[in-house]
Amino acid sequence: MAVQRFGVSLQKELLEDLDKLVVNRSFPNRSQAIAFLIEKYKVERSWEEDATVTGAILLVYDHHKRDVVDQSIHIQHEYQPLILALQHIHVTHDACLETIAVKGRAHEIRELADKLIGMKGVEYGDLMMSKVID
């Protein structure tokens, strides 16, 4: 894709924030930081518009807690067409980290994530949004 140059005028505080983003994210320059922000905006819009999207659901739970594994499996079977892959890691003797790669309509993925994160016994959960690669 061809790169085009353009000028940007920003308030001093916003420019300082942009420069902090460049440093904190190790971007090689401001242009890369601006491109990152635009891509992030596009991803958020695609989720708002209920497009077909990809993402990952992260769960941390104690697998010894009553029924958490069985509940998770049951919910995942209900949403099986959305699930691309699952990775289960034993972080400690009790704690498990599960990442679930998903693809589907944004509202269905959010619904799945909400059910999994809301299960009794889940200590932490999050949904990471990603762009769709057709």
CATH tag, 52-130: 3.30.70.1150
* Per-residue pLDDT band at 65 (split at 50, 70, 90): confident
The pLDDT of residue 112 is 98
Q: Of 61, 56, 124, 72, which is closest to residue 96 (Cα–Cα)?
A: 61
Question: 22 pLDDT exceeds 80?
Answer: yes
Question: 63 pLDDT exceeds 90?
Answer: no
Say if pTM beats, i.e. exceeds, 0.85.
no
Listed by start position, the domains of the chain span 12-48, 52-130
The residue with tokens 């892959």 is 85
Print burial letters for 19-56: b (CB count within 10 Å at least 16), e (below 16).
eebbeeeebeeeeebbeeeeeeeebeebbeeeeebbbb
The pLDDT of residue 132 is 75
